[in-house]
Amino acid sequence: MKRISNILFILILSSSCAFLSKEKKEFDSLQKVTILQAKIFNGKIKKLNLIYPFQTIAAKLFCADREMALGALKNGLRQVFVSSDRHIETGDVICEYRFKVDEVDKSLVVAKLKIENSKYPLRKVRVPKKYAKLSDKAIARWKRETKTLDEVYKNAIVDRKLFQSKFKKPLASKITAIYGSKRVFNDMKHSWHSGIDFRARKKTKIPASNRGKVVLARHHFFTGKTIIIDHGLGIMTMYCHLSSLKVSEGDIVPLGEIIGISGNTGRSSAPHLHWGVRVNGNWVDGFSLLKEGI
């Protein structure tokens, strides 16, 4: 009798092993991952190569609860451009993989980035009345355009990168407004500057900062004639206040291609180029992208 129960026990044990899912087996044998420690400035990016310890488990990366696009797996590592929210000035950005094992949510912390506080100044800006106090018609237009932008951001290319070279700043001219400053428009509306303004005389040719897909080429209320290029891996660049658009939505443009001509359209007090850089859902200081390389 004892022998039979032993055999039964072994049978149950081996059959339960046989029914372990691939993910469960992998999860049970996961090695401890050393947590990468680094620093990041709020409003800037940090390029990291993170250990990716999974084979069959499909894990997504979240930093400060925001999904970050993961580059292709190479020697057990995946490249990620971690971006940090401009407005979160203290604490840590925790990066963790999130995945499911037999329908149960799991997570694994892989990096901890201490936030270093960038000091951003306050600037007063004067703009025509219609941009400081919006009419009902303007509000309706702005809402429509916000929806369009939300769609563009939602559909960001995250599973591949379209560029092979370093990002370049669009112009070598004087910076007339830095990234990140808090802004008060006509002593009323409070906002912040989410890009970098370059001096650009009218009719200056504006090149693409890197290879990518044109995902927006339209005239918007605030940003005037605007182009957004999706470069993949969660990275987009935006070019505003143009006088004309030289590319169309859907075009793939190489680095340096002339995509538009500078101007003074939208909420702009003088001809200039507003250059925005969006990485994994945060508008960041474009110079930090130039610095991090590829």
Site residues (vs Zn ion, CB under 5 A): 195, 197, 274
Q: What is the smallest separation between the CB atom of 197 and Zn ion, expressed in angstroms?
A: 4
Among 246, 242, 239, CA closest to 274? 239
Q: What is the smallest separation between the CB atom of 292 and Zn ion, expressed in angstroms?
A: 22
Report the distance separating Cα 195 and Cα 81, nearest Å: 18
Which residue, chain included where needed, has tokens 């999860």? 27
| Helix (H/G/I), strand (E/B), else coil: 291 | helix
Cβ proximity to Zn ion: between 110 and 279 the closer is 279
Cβ proximity to Zn ion: between 96 and 197 the closer is 197
Among 123, 120, 95, 92, CA closest to 107? 95
Q: What is the smallest separation between the CB atom of 49 and Zn ion, expressed in angstroms?
A: 32
Q: What is the smallest separation between the CB atom of 200 and Zn ion, expressed in angstroms?
A: 11
- Contact between 279 and 234 under an 8 Å Cβ cutoff? The reply is yes
Which residue is nearest to Zn ion, using beta carbons? 274
Tokens at residue 222, please?
Answer: 């605030």
Cβ proximity to Zn ion: between 44 and 267 the closer is 267
Q: Where are the beta strands (DSSP E) in 182-223?
A: 182-185, 189-192, 195-199, 205-207, 212-220
Q: What is the smallest separation between the CB atom of 226 and Zn ion, expressed in angstroms?
A: 12
